[in-house]
C-alpha cells in the first residue's frame, strides 16, 4: 500500500553529501514528506521548483552562480515554504529572521529539522496562511528598508507589518511589546535582544536595556546623563548612559 504523503519537497544544495543527508533524514524521520527533486545551484534549483511545485524547498544559502536570495528572485510564484540550510551563522540569518523563516545550521540537527517540518504543517492548515519565503522575497526586492515587512509570531499564527509602522519596542521579561504607529500594541514571544539584532539594519537602535526605537520616529532628544527621547507617538523613552554615544552617532 502506498503511503499517504502530506507534503512534497525539493532539496537544493551544491554538495551531494548534504542533499543525501537531508533526503535520508526526511525518509527516516519525516515519512509524510516526499522528496520529488534536487538542484545543485540556482539554475537547476529554479528548474526543480518550476517542475515539481513542492510544498517545501530545502535551500542552501551559498551556492555556485548565486545564492538562495538570487534563486527566490527568479521564481515567479512563491507558493512554497522554505527551510534554509547554511554552514554560516552570518548576515543572511538577519534577513531570514525578519520574515520569521525557518533555517538549519550545518551539520543539520535531526530534531530541528523535524521541528521545522512540523511547524510548516501546522501553519499550512491556517486559512490565511502566507509563506515566510514570500515575505522574504518581497523584502529582497524592496530597496527602502523601512518598507520591508516583519512577520511577528503570535499565539494564533503571524502578523505581518512594515518596519515603518513600528515606533518602538520594550522588553517585558522574555517577551517584547511592539508599539505601532496606529496606537495598537503587540506582545511577541521573543526577547528584545533578538529584535535588536533583527532590526538594527532597518534603522532601529537599542537605547536602553528595556527599549528599542525606530530612529525614523524620534521626534526629539533631551540632554541628560543619558537623556531621553520623545517619539512620534508621544511616548518618552529613557536613553541609558552606556547607550548614549551609539544613539547619538546614529541619530
Q: How far apart are CA 167 and CA 153, in angstroms?
A: 18
Statement to judge: residues 124 and 62 lie in one domain: yes
Statement to judge: residues 128 and 12 lie in one domain: yes
Max CA separation in the chain (angstroms) = 74
The domain of 89 spans 7-138
* Cβ atoms < 10 Å from Cβ of 79: 12
Mean pLDDT of the chain: 87
Statement to judge: residues 132 and 20 lie in one domain: yes
Statement to judge: residues 201 and 232 lie in one domain: yes
Q: What is the CATH number of the domain that holds 26?
A: 3.40.50.2300
Per-residue pLDDT of 79-96, as tens digits, reads 899 999 988 766 567 777
- The grid cell for 100 is 520569521
Confidence of residue 112 (pLDDT cuts 50, 70, 90): very high
pTM for this one?
0.64
Confidence of residue 128 (pLDDT cuts 50, 70, 90): low
Average pLDDT over residues 17-41: 95
Q: How far apart are CA 109 and CA 240, in angstroms?
A: 40
Task: Classify residue 153: in a domain, yes or no.
Answer: no
- How many structural domains compose the chain? 2
Does pLDDT of 217 surpass 90?
yes
In this prediction, residue 66 carries a pLDDT of 81
Statement to judge: residues 220 and 174 lie in one domain: yes
Amino acid at each position: 500500500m502506498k503511503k499517504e504523503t502530506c507534503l512534497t519537497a525539493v532539496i537544493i544544495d551544491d554538495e551531494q553529501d548534504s542533499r543525501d543527508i537531508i533526503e535520508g533524514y526526511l525518509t527516516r524521520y519525516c515519512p509524510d514528506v516526499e522528496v520529488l527533486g534536487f538542484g545543485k545551484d540556482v539554475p537547476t534549483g529554479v528548474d526543480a521548483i518550476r517542475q515539481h511545485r513542492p510544498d517545501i524547498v530545502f535551500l542552501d544559502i551559498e551556492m555556485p552562480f548565486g545564492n538562495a536570495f538570487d534563486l527566490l528572485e527568479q521564481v515567479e510564484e512563491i507558493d512554497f515554504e522554505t527551510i534554509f540550510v547554511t554552514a554560516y551563522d552570518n548576515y543572511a540569518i538577519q534577513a531570514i529572521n525578519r520574515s520569521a523563516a525557518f533555517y538549519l545550521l550545518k551539520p543539520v540537527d535531526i530534531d530541528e529539522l523535524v521541528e521545522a517540518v512540523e511547524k510548516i504543517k501546522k501553519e499550512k492548515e491556517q486559512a490565511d496562511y502566507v509563506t515566510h519565503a514570500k515575505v522574504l522575497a518581497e523584502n529582497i526586492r524592496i530597496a527602502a528598508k523601512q518598507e520591508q515587512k516583519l512577520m511577528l509570531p503570535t499565539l494564533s499564527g503571524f502578523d505581518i507589518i512594515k518596519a515603518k509602522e513600528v515606533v518602538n519596542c520594550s522588553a517585558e521579561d522574555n517577551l517584547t511589546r511592539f508599539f505601532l504607529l496606529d496606537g495598537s500594541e503587540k506582545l511577541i514571544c521573543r526577547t528584545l535582544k533578538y529584535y535588536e539584532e533583527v532590526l538594527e539594519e532597518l534603522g532601529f537602535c537599542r537605547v536602553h536595556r528595556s527599549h528599542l526605537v525606530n530612529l525614523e520616529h524620534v521626534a526629539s532628544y533631551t540632554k541628560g546623563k543619558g537623556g531621553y527621547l520623545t517619539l512620534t507617538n508621544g511616548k518618552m523613552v529613557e536613553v541609558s548612559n552606556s547607550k548614549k554615544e551609539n544613539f547619538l552617532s546614529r541619530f
